[in-house]
Amino acid sequence: MDKKRVKDYMTYDVVTVGIHETGKGVIDKIQKTGHDGFPVVNDQKEVVGYISARDLLAVHPGTPVERIMSRHLIVADPEMSINDAARVIFRSGIQKLPVVDEHNRLIGIISNADVIRSQIERVSPEKVYNFMDTLRRLHGIEPTLKRGYVPIDELLPTQARIYQDELEGRIYEIKKGLAEPLIVVKRPGRYILVDGHHRAIAAKRLGHKTLDAYIIMIAENLELGMERTARAQNLRTLNDIAVMDYARHPLVAVTHRLVRQN
């Protein structure tokens, strides 16, 4: 995660508000873009404030932006780690951080949605060791761990579906060299994909032949429960995984159902 920087996830094409504009101009931009706020810049393109839809409540449309905007501005550096940006965003309660260069000129913006996207499918050492401990308890074996590259086309998937929006995020990360390692179990004659199905499909679509992984080695030739589950779901290769549109995500479907019922 240390290599993930704000510059890798921020939006570069930013809509701004000039300091000489009025409240009406900001309202027009909100209606046109759908955004709920904008960085305010001066004639030198330096960031001098931020104005949100909330700032416009009970304000005359002709009021200058300079009198409405918030001057209590928190900004980010493009080299700032994504974890540090996440701490600032969530502890301050703000939704977006303008990203500026050494001269305080705007070069991008990073939002809470960008931070969340960077955190999806994180692989932690605890996750790996917890899985190894589960194997010990279930099968009475002593797996070992190594880091290396695994052949993508030889992976046995254990997840029947993935989601298009997350897949697009993983494709972006792989192109940027930011992807987390997979978690794979290697037993005699088989590579079993435990975690990282979105990353594996993304790499396959990009034409990669191998992918970085935490490889949990098992010397015993035993069938794991996840292999039986994969067989029951007719999963043999990554091509058997269904890619679902975001609108068909179970959480979204439940939300839509509740809305209709109410």
pLDDT in tens, 88-108: 888 887 888 999 999 999 999
Instruction: Examine residue 51 and state whether it is found in any structural domain, yes or no.
Output: yes
Considering 62, 84, 118, which residue would you say is the last residue of a domain?
118
Of the candidates 55, 22, 36, 25, the residue with the CA atom closest to the CA atom of residue 109: 36
CATH number of the domain to which 22 belongs = 3.10.580.10
Q: Domain range for residue 104?
A: 6-118
Cα 137 from Cα 68, distance rounded (Å): 62
134 & 248 share domain: yes
Q: Are 105 and 75 in contact (CB under 8 A)?
A: no
Whether residues 114 and 137 share a domain: the answer is no
CA–CA separation, 146 vs 125, rounded Å?
12
Average pLDDT value for the chain: 87
Question: What are 201-259's pLDDT values in tens digits?
Answer: 999 999 999 999 999 999 998 889 899 999 999 999 999 999 987 544 444 444 334 44
Nearest to 191 by CA among 208, 172, 213, 173: 213
| Three-state secondary structure string covering 200-229 | HHHHHHCCCCEEEEEEEECCCCCCCHHHHH
Q: For the chain, how many structural domains are there in total?
A: 2
